[in-house]
């Protein structure tokens, strides 16, 4: 299923719940992450133009713009993830009756697996940007809406860990040990950074919620 952002939310949920191969975990993680960063954009919009936050108006405008850019990037990556999985399924269905067919199928599968690994990694990296935006916003965003910055942090971190599961399962089938090792190292780096940024943002949010 493509063009998910042009569908009603009810239709997206129905497609995700169906037995269709897409949308799957990677694309759903991107969608969830986009919802998370939308909360950061909302806090930015509720801060910009307010007289009591005039001193940080320029920074807030920049943060809000980055949040919208990140949402658009996640929309594009969601479609790319669907396409990558479709490519994998097309390779998986190739004939394997002869040795030559088996070799061609395996070559196509390995190429598709790289794409199906690289796209969720890119989604995760984009979500790190969402978390960095949220951590920055937590310090200066409108206190009346600051809990929503915490929501953004929790949701985006969860989306990171969710999409990285796709990386992990695909790497179990990748035959290129060098590629797999490098991707696994990147996966661990992203997961650790996501936890750090989430904790940083939430700590500030909770402190500002006190008074």
6-37 tens-digit pLDDT: 888 899 899 999 998 888 899 999 999 999 99
Mean residue pLDDT of the chain comes to 95
**Rg of the chain in Å (alpha carbons):** 20
Q: Determine the Cα–Cα distance for residues 38 and 204; give it in Å rounded to an integer.
A: 19
CB atoms within 10 A of CB 99: 8
Residue range 132-188, pLDDT digits in tens: 999 999 999 999 999 999 999 999 999 999 999 999 999 999 999 999 999 999 999
* Phi, psi angles (nearest 5°) of residue 173: -110, -5
pLDDT (average), residues 74-84: 95
pTM of the complete model: 0.94
Closest-CA residue to 23 (of 68, 99, 80, 108) = 80
- Exposure b/e, 23-60, CB count within 10 A at least 16 = b: bbbbbbbbbbbbbbbbbbbbbbebbbeeeebeebeebb
pLDDT for res 2? 59
- Alpha-helical segments (H) within the chain: 9-17, 25-47, 57-92, 99-140, 146-171, 177-209
pLDDT for res 7? 85
């Amino acid at each position: 299923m493509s063009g998910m952002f042009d569908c009603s939310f009810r239709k997206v949920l129905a497609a995700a719940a169906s037995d269709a191969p897409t949308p799957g975990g990677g694309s759903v993680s991107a969608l969830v992450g986009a919802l998370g960063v939308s909360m950061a954009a909302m806090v930015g919009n509720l801060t910009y133009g307010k007289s009591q936050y005039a001193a940080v108006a320029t920074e807030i405008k920049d943060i809000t713009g980055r949040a919208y850019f990140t949402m658009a990037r996640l929309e594009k990556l969601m479609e790319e993830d669907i396409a990558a999985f479709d490519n994998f399924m097309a390779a998986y269905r190739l004939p394997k009756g002869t040795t030559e067919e088996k070799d061609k199928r395996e070559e196509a599968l390995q190429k598709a697996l790289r794409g199906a690994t690289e796209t969720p990694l890119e989604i995760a990296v984009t979500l790190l940007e969402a978390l960095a935006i949220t951590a920055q916003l937590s310090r200066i965003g409108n206190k009346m809406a600051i809990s929503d910055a915490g929501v953004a942090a929790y949701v985006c971190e969860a989306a990171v860990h969710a999409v990285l599961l796709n990386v992990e399962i695909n790497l179990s089938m990748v035959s290129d040990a060098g590629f797999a090792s490098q991707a696994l190292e990147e996966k661990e780096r992203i997961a650790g950074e996501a936890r750090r940024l989430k904790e940083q943002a939430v700590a500030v949010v909770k402190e500002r919620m006190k008074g």
